[in-house]
A and B are shown apart, each in its own frame.
Chain A
Amino acid sequence: MHRLYILVFTVGSMGYTTAQNFTLSGYIQDSINRETLSKVQIIATDSEGKELRSTTNGYGFYSVTLSKSIQQISVLKPGYLSIKESIILDKHLNRNFYLSPETESLDLVDIRAKQNNNVKSLDMSTQTISGQTIKKIPSFLGESDVIRSIQLLPGVSTVGEGSSGFNVRGGSIDQNLVLMDEAPVFNSAHLFGFFSIFNPDAVKDVELIKGGIPANYGGRLSSTLDVKNRDGNKRVFQANGGVGTIFSRLTVEGPIVIPEKNLIRTPRKTPARSSFIISGRRSYIDYLAKPFLPANLTGSQFYFYDLTAKANYSYKRDNLFISTYIGDDVFTAQGLFGVKWGNSTVTGRWNHVFNKRLFANFTYYYSRYRYNLEFMNRGATFNWQSYIINNSAKADFNYYLSPKNNFSFGFQTTHYRFIPGKAIAKSETLNLKFGLPDRYAMESAAYLSNDWNANGRFSIRAGIRFSQFAYLGPGQVYVYTRIPGKQGVLDTAYTTKNGELVVNYFNPEPRLGFKFQIDKTSSIKGGYNRMVQNLHLISNTTASVPFDVWQPTTNNIKPEIADQLGLGYFKNFGQNGEYETSIEGYYKSLQNQVDYIDGATLLLNEYLEADLLNGIGRAYGLEAYIRKTTGKFTGWISYTLSRSERKVIGINDGNWYPNRFDRLHNLYVVAQYKLNKKWDLAANFVFSSGTPSNFYSGQYSVQGYVIPDAGSNARNNVRNPNYHRLDISATYTRKKTKKYKSDWVFSCYNVYNRRNPFSIYFSTNHQEKGQNAAIRFSVIGSIVPAISYNFAF
C-alpha cells in the first residue's frame, strides 16, 4: 500500500510540474438562493477537444489545474441548467459559478442527460436523491420522507413497516452511519420508523454509499447515509411549509441583514454574507385522538416534533456554519406512564480555502441520543434514563494536485460517554437509585485517499483509514471465561480509574476502487473496502425499539469488521442517455457479529456481556437498476437478489442461518408522470420476499403454566409471506403568483388493501380463543388515504 502511494504521488507530481499551468477554483452555487452545490461536474475542454473533469466536493468547492489556453468550461448538475463558457486561463483564477434551477418548462432541451455522470464518476454503489425527488415519491400519509425514499433504492430493504432504520446489503440497522450535517444520529426514526427525523424542507442532499466507501467515512460496516441540510437563502426571505394529516411543518429562511423598509420580499442583488434557516415539524396525533380516548387518558400526549436550524457566514476564503437539530417522540398517559426519546446534535463547521488547490473543512460536533421512561401508580414512580453522548472534532482536506490526481486526507477524534441506564424507584416507603455504571471510550481515525486518473480510461481511488478505539475507565471491568455458545462465566472483575485504558483496538481499513471507461456511455467499476465498527446496538427484537442500548467495543465485545468486494457495469441508453442503467454484484464477509444466548437479558443487566455470542456473517447479492432521468415520465426500477446470513456457535446448531431481515427478492418500481402544468401523478410498487421467522411446534405444561416449545434449535427456518404494496399520489399545483405558491397532494398508501404480515407470531393461551393460536400481525392492514397541503411564499 505504501509503495502504491509513492507511485501515485510520483506520477501525480509528474503531471503537475509541467510549466504554464493555471488553476481555476471556486464555489458553485444555486443562482436563486446561493446554496453551495456538491457533486457538480466541471468539464474543461481545450482547443484540441481534450476533456478534463472535476467535481465539487461536499461543500461546493472545486479546483482544476489546466494548461494555459482557451478553455471551454461546462458546469453541470442534475436539476440545474448547465453553463457553458469560454475562459482564457492566463493566470490563476478564482471563479464562482451560479447554476439556475431547471424551470418547469419541459420544452427546454435538457443537457444534463448527456452528462453520464453515473458512468464517468469513480463512485460506485452510491445513490443520491435530491429533495425534489423525495418530494415526488408517494408516501405514507402524504408526507415525503428521506429514509422511506431510500428504502426504494437497490440494495436497501427493511424488516417491515413500523421498524426503525433500514438494512443495506444484508447489514443490520446499526451498521449504517447516518449523518446529519456531519453529526451521527443514533436513531433516525420518528414514530417507530413511519417517519424519519429529517425534515425534507431542510434537506439539501442525501447520499447513500453502500460500497466502495471512501476512506473519509468510517465507523459502520454497511453504509453511510450522508444528509446535508440547506444553508438558507442568502438573497431573500422565504417561508414554506405544509399541513398534513399527521403533522405540519414550517421552514423560514433568509439573509441575515437588516432589510430595507418594504423590501423584505425583494431578492437582494448582492447576496448577504450570512443566512439562516429554521425548520420545524410537530405531529398532532394526540389532538386528533383526544375525542376517542377513554376519560382517564384524555390528558395523554402522543406526538413528535423536530427543529432544525442552521446559520452561516462567508467572508473571503472562509465559510462558517453552525447547525443544530433537536427532536423528540413523546408518549405520556397521565398518571400511568411517560416515555420520551430523541436525538440532538450541534455541528460547527469552518471551511477554509488555504490556496487554490487546498481546501479544508474543520468540524466539531456534539450528538446525543437519549430515552426516558416513567411509570406512575398510586404515588409510586419508576424513572429510567439512558443516553449516548459523543463529542468529536475532525479535519478534512482536499488537495487538488492536478485534474488527474486529487488527494483527500484528514483525521478525527471522538469521545463517547454511554449511560446504559439510570433508574429511580420511589414509593411511600422506598427511594431507590440503581442502574448500570457509565462507560467511556475514545475513537480516533486518520485517512488518506487518492483519486488518480491513470489515462483517459482507467481511474483508481485508493485509500487507507487507520482507526483506533480505546475503551476507558472509570468503571467496572468483567473478564469472562467463554465456552463457545454458552453464557460466559465471570472470571474476574476489577475497577478502573478515570481515563484508565482497559483495552485498545487498532485497525487498518484499506479501500480501493477502480473504473474502466469502455466508451462514453459505459464503464466497469469495482472496489474493495474494509470497514470497522466499534459501536453496537444491543437488540434481539424483530424491529429495533427506541429503548435498545448502544454499547462500545470492550474487552468482551470485539470490533465488528466487514470486507466487501463489489463489481458493477454501468451503461446509459437513449438519444440523450436519459436511461441510466447499472448492474452491480457484491460479496461481504463479516466478523465479530453480536448475537445473544437464549433468553438473554439485555437491559439493566450488569453482566450483559456474558449473554453475548460472537459470530460471523456473510451477505451477497446482485442489484439491477434502470432509471429514466428526464422527460414527462421519470422514475426507476430496481431489483435486488440477495442473501444475508450468520453463523454463531450456540445458535441453529452452529450452522448458517438467515438474518431476520434477509429477503431474497426486492423489486421496487418508482414512476412519476407530469400530466400537465397543474397535475403530477406518481406511483410506486414494492415487492419483497418474506422475511424468515421461527415457529413453535410443541407445548407442555408445568405447574399449570402452558409452555411453548420450538422443538429443534433451528433459527429463522420458516418464511413469512411475501410483501407487496402499491402507493399512488396526485399533486395539484395551484396557479402560482409571484408571492405565493401552493399545491395539494392526494395520496393513497397500500392501494389494494393488502394485509402484509410484519410477522406471524404464536400466542400461547390466546385471550379470545383460550388456546394456542398463530397470529398474523400487520402493521398496516388497510388502505391509507391522505391529503396534504404545501405552500411557499
Chain B
Amino acid sequence: MNLHLNPNKLFKTIRLLLFLATLFAQFACEDVIQVTVKNQSAKIVVDAFINTINQIQTIHITRSIGYFDSSRTEPPITNAKVAIVDQTTLPGKLFVFTHAKNGKYQFTPNTLTGDTFTIGHDYALLVVIDQDTLLGLSRLNPTTKIDSIRLVEVEGNGPPINTTGKYVELIANDRKGKGDFYWIKTFRNDSFLNSINQLNISPDMGNVSIKEDGQLFIYPVRYTKVNDFSRSYKSRETVRIEIHSVNGLAFAWFNLIANENQNGGLFATPPINIFTNIVSYNEKKKIGLAGFFCMSAVASASVVIP
C-alpha cells in the first residue's frame, strides 16, 4: 500500500484501487493495441544529476526516441563540450567533463586538489553541441543526517506486503526549517531500486501542508518507499540508503515523471511534456530539449541483514 502523502500519487493509487475493487472489473477490460503515433523530431536529452559523493560523476547526453521504439537505445551525442561552473566563487571554478563513451561525460572529483563541489554554492551547467550552447542552473543544497537503518520483521498478508520476512526502515529526521527537498535512493546489494513505483521524494518531512518540521520522515517516506515488498531481504544482503538533497524544481520534476508513468485508465489526466531546466542560450532558436540538471549533497548509511 502506497501511503505516500504526496496528493497526486496518493489519489492515483486510490483511484486505481477503487476501480479494481468494484465487481465491475469483471466487465472492464484492457488490451494492448497497435496505434500509430506521429513522429516527432528527436529532443536533446541532458541527464545531469551530480552529487558530492567522492566518485566519478557522469553526465549523459542523448537524443529521445519514438515512443514505441522497443530497442530503448537512445542515440548518444558524443561531440559535446560539457562543463560545470561554480558561480559562487570568483572567478568561477570550472569542472570539465570529458567524453568517456556512448554520450557519457565524466569528471573525477579530487579532494586533494580541491576539485570538489561545495554545499551552498550555485552551479551552472554548460553544454555546447555544434553551434548550440545549452545552460542549466542548480544550487547545491545541504542534506540531512541518517540516524540508522532499522530492521523490521513483517508478516506478509497480501498486498502490498506479499512476502513475510525482513524489511528496513530509515530512521532520519528532516532538516530544521521549511523548504528542504529530498530524493531518497535505496540500493540492494549496490543495485539501485529504480522502479518508478519506488521513486522516493520528500518535501521536508514528507508533506508541505503539515506544521511540524525537522522530525522523523513520515511513514511512507521512511518505510513504504524504501522497500520492495515483493521480495523480503535475505541474510547477508546489503541495504544502502542515500538521501540526496534536491531543490523544489527538481522535486516538482520528479513528481511529474512519477505521475506521467502512472497516468491512464478511467481517471487519466491529459499527457504532458515534462519540463526541463536545460535551456538554449540562444532563446530565438527553438531546440527540443529534455532532461534535468541537479546538484545534490548526499547522506548515506548501509546495513548488512543479519
Please list the residues of chain A having a beta carbon within 8 angstroms of any beta carbon in chain B: 162-163, 191-192, 194, 285, 288-289, 294-297, 300, 302, 331, 333, 336-337, 339, 373, 375, 377-378, 380, 382, 423, 425, 427, 429-430, 432, 434-436, 540-543, 545, 547, 598-599, 601-606, 660, 694-713, 715-716, 755, 758-766, 768-769, 771-782, 784
Contact with A along B217-259 (1 / 0, CB 8 A): 0110000100000000000000000000000000010011101
Whether B123 sits at the interface, judged by CB under 8 Å, is no
Stretch at the interface among B83-91, B109-117, B130-138, B269-277: B269-277
Instruction: Flag if B192 contacts A378 (CB, 8 Å).
Output: no
A765 in contact with B22 (CB, 8 Å): no
Show 10 A/B contacts (Cβ-Cβ < 8 Å), sorted by A: A191-B22, A285-B23, A541-B266, A599-B252, A604-B7, A699-B66, A701-B74, A764-B261, A778-B30, A781-B27
12 more A-B residue pairs beyond the given contacts A162-B266, A339-B18, with a C-beta to C-beta distance below 8 A: A162-B24, A192-B266, A333-B21, A434-B211, A606-B209, A695-B37, A698-B42, A699-B64, A700-B63, A703-B194, A762-B264, A772-B68
Distance in Å: Cβ of B295 to nearest Cβ of chain A: 14
Q: A425 vs B290: C-alpha distance in the bound complex, in angstroms?
A: 37
- Most chain B CB neighbours (cut-off 10 Å) among A660, A696, A703: A703
Complex Cα–Cα for A191 and B21 (A): 11
- Contact partner, B40, options A697, A779, A784, Cβ 8 Å: A697
A775: chain B residues at CB < 8 Å are 30-33, 264
B53 touches A (CB below 8 Å)? no
A771: chain B residues at CB < 8 Å are 68, 70, 72
Cα(A541)–Cα(B269), bound, Å: 4
A339 touches B68 (CB 8 A): no
Instruction: Note all chain B residues with C-beta closer than 8 A to A336.
Output: 1, 159
Segment with Cβ contacts to A, from B43-51, B93-101, B140-148, B298-306: B43-51
Assuming the A-B contacts A294-B158, A380-B3, are A696 and B209 also in contact, with contact meaning beta carbons closer than 8 angstroms in the complex? Answer: no
* CB closest chain-A residue, reference B183: A703
Residues of chain B within 8 A of A706, CB atoms compared = 72, 196, 261
Contact A696 B37 (CB under 8 A): yes
A776 and B30 contact, CB distance less than 8 A: yes
CA distance A294 to B211 in the complex (A): 40
Is B271 within 8 A of A694, CB to CB? yes
Q: Point out the residues of chain A lying under 8 angstroms from B215, CB to CB.
A: 430
For chain B residues 1-23, which have a beta carbon within 8 Å of chain A?
Answer: 1, 3, 5, 7-8, 11, 14-15, 17-19, 21-23
A708 pairs with B271, CB closer than 8 A: yes
Give the most central of B7, B69, B207: most A CB within 10 Å: B7
Give how many B residues have a beta carbon under 8 Å from the other chain's beta carbons: 86
Closest CB in chain A relative to B150 CB, distance in Å: 12
Q: Which residues of B contact A423 (CB under 8 A)?
A: 209
List of A residues within 8 angstroms of B11 by Cβ? 545, 547, 603
| A754 nearest CB across to chain B (Å) | 12
In the complex, A761→B261 CA distance in Å?
Answer: 11
In the complex, how many angstroms separate the beta carbon of B191 from the nearest chain A beta carbon?
Answer: 11
A777 and B265 CA atoms in complex are apart in Å by 6
Q: Is there an interface contact between B192 and A704, defined as CB atoms closer than 8 Å?
A: yes
The reply on B149 being an interface residue by CB < 8 A is no
CA distance A271 to B20 in the complex (A): 51
- Let me know if A375 and B207 touch, CB within 8 A: no
B33 and A774 form a contact (CB under 8 A): yes
Known: A377-B3, A436-B209. A762 touches B271 (CB 8 A): yes
Q: How far is the CA of A282 from the CA of B7 in the complex (A)?
A: 31
Q: Is there an interface contact between B33 and A776, defined as CB atoms closer than 8 Å?
A: yes
Q: Is B154 an interface residue (CB 8 A)?
A: yes
Q: Which residues of B contact A777 (CB under 8 A)?
A: 28-30, 264-266
State which of A436, A696, A768 has its C-beta within 8 Å of the C-beta of B271.
Answer: A696
Q: How far is the CB of A478 from chain B (nearest CB, A)?
A: 15
B291 touches A715 (CB 8 A): no
Query: A194, A602, A711, A761: which contacts B268 (Cβ < 8 A)?
Result: A761
Task: Give the interface centre of B49, B255, B265 by most chain A CB atoms within 10 Å.
Answer: B265
- When the two chains form the complex, which single residue of A709, A716, A772 contacts B273, counting CB atoms closer than 8 Å? A709
Instruction: Please report the C-alpha to C-alpha distance between residue A758 and residue B27 in the assembled complex, in whole angstroms.
Output: 13
Contact, CB under 8 Å: A285 / B29:
no
Instruction: Tell me if A765 and B261 are in contact (CB < 8 A).
Output: yes
Complex formed: what's the CA distance from A300 to B194 in Å? 33
Residues of B71-85 contacting chain A, CB below 8 A: 72, 74
Does any Cβ of A come within 8 Å of B62's Cβ?
A: yes
A705 & B1 in contact (Cβ 8 Å cutoff): no
Determine the chain A residues whose CB is within 8 A of the CB of B3 once the complex forms: 375, 377, 380, 382
- Chain A positions within 8 Å of B270 at CB level: 540, 660, 694, 715-716
Known A434-B207, A434-B209, A604-B7; contact A699-B67, beta-carbon cutoff 8 A: yes
Residues on A with C-beta less than 8 A from B67 are 695-699, 708-709, 762, 772
Residues of A with C-beta under 8 A to B35: 695, 760, 774
CB distance from A206 to the nearest CB of B (A): 25
Q: Are B273 and A710 in contact (CB under 8 A)?
A: yes
- Residue contact A163 to B266, C-beta cutoff 8 Å: yes
Q: Are A302 and B22 in contact (CB under 8 A)?
A: yes
B263 within 8 Å of A by Cβ? yes
Contacts of B24 in A (CB 8 A): 162, 191-192, 194, 779
| Min C-beta distance of A675 to chain B, whole Å | 29
Please tell me if the beta carbons of A765 and B7 are within 8 angstroms of each other in the complex: no
In the bound complex, do residue A603 and residue B266 qualify as a contact, i.e. CB atoms below 8 Å apart? no
Instruction: Select which of A339, A705, A768, A784 is within 8 A of B14 by beta carbon.
Output: A339
Q: Is the CB of B158 within 8 A of A707?
A: no
Contact A698 B1 (CB under 8 A): no
**Would you call B40 and A712 a contact (CB within 8 A)?**
yes
- Say whether B266 contacts A758, CB under 8 Å: yes
Given A711-B40, A777-B264, CB of A382 within 8 Å of CB of B5: yes
Chain B contacts for A436, CB-based, 8 A: 209
Contacts of A763 in B (CB 8 A): 264
Which residues of the other chain, B, contact A194 by a CB distance below 8 angstroms? 24
Given the contacts A191-B22, A337-B17, A705-B196, A761 and B265 also touching, CB distance less than 8 Å: yes
Residue of B at shortest CB range from A773?
B32
Closest residue on chain B to residue A283 by CB atoms: B23
Q: Is the CB of A545 within 8 A of B33?
A: no
User: Which of A337, A695, A709, A765 touches B43 (beta carbons < 8 Å)?
Assistant: A709
B34 contacts chain A at the CB level, 8 A cutoff: yes
Task: Identify which of A425, A430, A601, A708 contacts B8 (C-beta below 8 A).
Answer: A601
Other-chain residue from B5, B158, B209 in contact with A297 (beta carbon distance below 8 A) = B158
- In Å, the complex CA distance between A540 and B263 comes to 12
Contact A710 B272, beta carbon cutoff 8 Å: yes
Taking A380-B219, A700-B290 as contacts, is the C-beta distance between A761 and B29 under 8 angstroms? no
